[in-house]
Amino acid sequence: MRATRIIKLGLTSLVTHPLRSSLAVLGIVLGVASVIAMLAIGAGASEEAQAQIRSLGSTTIRLYSKKPPEDGGGSTNRSRMVIYGIKYDDLRRIDETVPDVAAIVPVREVSTTLWWGEKSAESYALGTMVSWLSAARQSVARGRWLNEVDMVNQLPSAVIGAGLAKKLFQHNDALGTEIRIGTKPYTVVGILAGGGAGGGKIGGANARMADDAVFVPMTTVKERWGDRNVKRSAGSTDIELVEVHEAILEVPAPELVIPTAEAVKALLARFHKKEDYTVVVPLALLEESKRTKRIFNIVLGSIAGISLVVGGIGIMNIMLATVTERTREIGIRRALGARRRDITLQFLAESLTLCLVGGIAGVGLGLLVPVYVEWKFDLPTLVHPDSVALAFGISAATGLLFGIYPAARAAKLDPIEALRHE
């Protein structure tokens, strides 16, 4: 009762000095806002990276073929044949010599244009096996996935990614329609659910997006295209010979992932003179990303801490000035019956109010900045409720901490001296 009235008193005195109060509070506002905004931007970035990595599967190892660096000296105006990448022999050797590899799923890419009647779309045609679906952590939304019958009979069945289905067919039903990959006809038997598909640059390899791909039986690809990819560019014809573009290795348990990956790397290194492949271990990437996030959080936390201390010093400064300016008022109040405690409470309420108001304004600003960043720079952000509570709590604690000294000083004043103060 008495306390609430004293707090109200503190508030009133802040309202009577709006400019001074708002300047005093600015440090806290910026401190709180920067904590929330920085954590939101940091969390958004790392959350996106982690989701991408996680979608690859934490018990998988991915192998990607890549074109080795040029030897140099070769004229560009000539037909060349480039043989590189992971071979079926590599996969066979892994299967035979590396323990703890539960499954190996190869993927062959036939990068071509996809046709549906007169409409076309650039797509990856990927030849793969039945086990791909589970190894790639994907599921089918409609229709079915490729099966053994497709494989054995080299059937022209195709399953398309959700993104591709939308792009090519729009509102039409893709299921059961005939499409052409290059010149060869296929029948759409299923559509992937999409979402969570890992794509883009991961661990230095350019992963193909399942969302934009069309999947056909590995056996059919081999039968129709052989092992050759022919890329033509102006004035030259490059013939690339790649057996396996990607392979997914399944490992039974997360703790086996790292040793298995080491064994696979050692094995591949022995048989490849050039670095024409990349081994990506999603689990290791995830760990690394988490560690990076931790370091990021520590750095952000320190910056935020410093800015809040600076804000707190601002509050303390203004409160000390207020106490000096109102020394006489303190004397009057003491003479009229205020206890030391009442004076302490009055000034503490003022600094606490300053910090809470600053905290609220800071939270508001801190929530606006991520929205702006998302809109302006197209960066993902993630405001965690904990960070808001943390920032607000720290600002309240700052008010208390930096308010105690000025308040105690006010309460300790000798009433007679205070009354004489001009």
Partner 1 sequence: MPTDTSTGTPVVRIVGVTKVYSMGEETVNALAGVDLEIEEGDFVAIMGPSGSGKSTLLNVLGCLDRPTSGSYFLGGVDVAQMDDNSISAIRSRRIGFIFQSFNLIPSHSVLENIEVPMFYAGTPPESARKRAQELASLVQLGNRTGHRPTQLSGGQQQRVAIARALANDPMILLCDEPTGNLDSVTGVEIMKFLTKLNEEGRTVIMVTHEDDISAWAKRVIRFRDGKIYEDVRRKS
Instruction: Give the residues lining the site for partner 1 (CB under 8 A).
Output: 1-2, 5, 12-13, 16, 328-329, 331-342, 415-416, 419
**Rounded to whole angstroms, how far apart are CA atoms 276 and 167?**
33
Least separation in angstroms between residue 18's CB and partner 1 is 13
Least separation in angstroms between residue 36's CB and partner 1 is 35
Residue 5 or 232 with smaller CB distance to partner 1 = 5
- Contact residues for 269 (Cβ-Cβ < 8 A; gap 6+): none
Residue 207 or 410 with smaller CB distance to partner 1 = 410
Least separation in angstroms between residue 348's CB and partner 1 is 17
Least separation in angstroms between residue 353's CB and partner 1 is 16
Strand (E) positions, 84-139? 103-116, 119-128
For strand 80-83 and strand 236-241, is the pairing parallel, antiparallel, or unpaired? parallel
Residue 12 or 111 with smaller CB distance to partner 1 = 12
For CA atoms 289, 295, 299, 305, the dihedral sign is: positive
CA-based nearest residue to 298, from 115, 42, 12: 42
The first and second tokens of residue 212, run together, are 């934009």
Residue 92 or 339 with smaller CB distance to partner 1 = 339
Residue 280 or 330 with smaller CB distance to partner 1 = 330
CA-based nearest residue to 358, from 13, 22, 20: 22
What are the two backbone dihedrals, phi and then psi, of residue 64, each rounded to the nearest 5 degrees? -125, 135
Least separation in angstroms between residue 21's CB and partner 1 is 13
Residue 276 or 329 with smaller CB distance to partner 1 = 329
Least separation in angstroms between residue 286's CB and partner 1 is 60
Here the contacts of 177-180 (C-beta below 8 Å, separation 24 or greater) are 177/116, 179/114, 179/115, 179/116, 179/214, 180/114, 180/115, 180/116
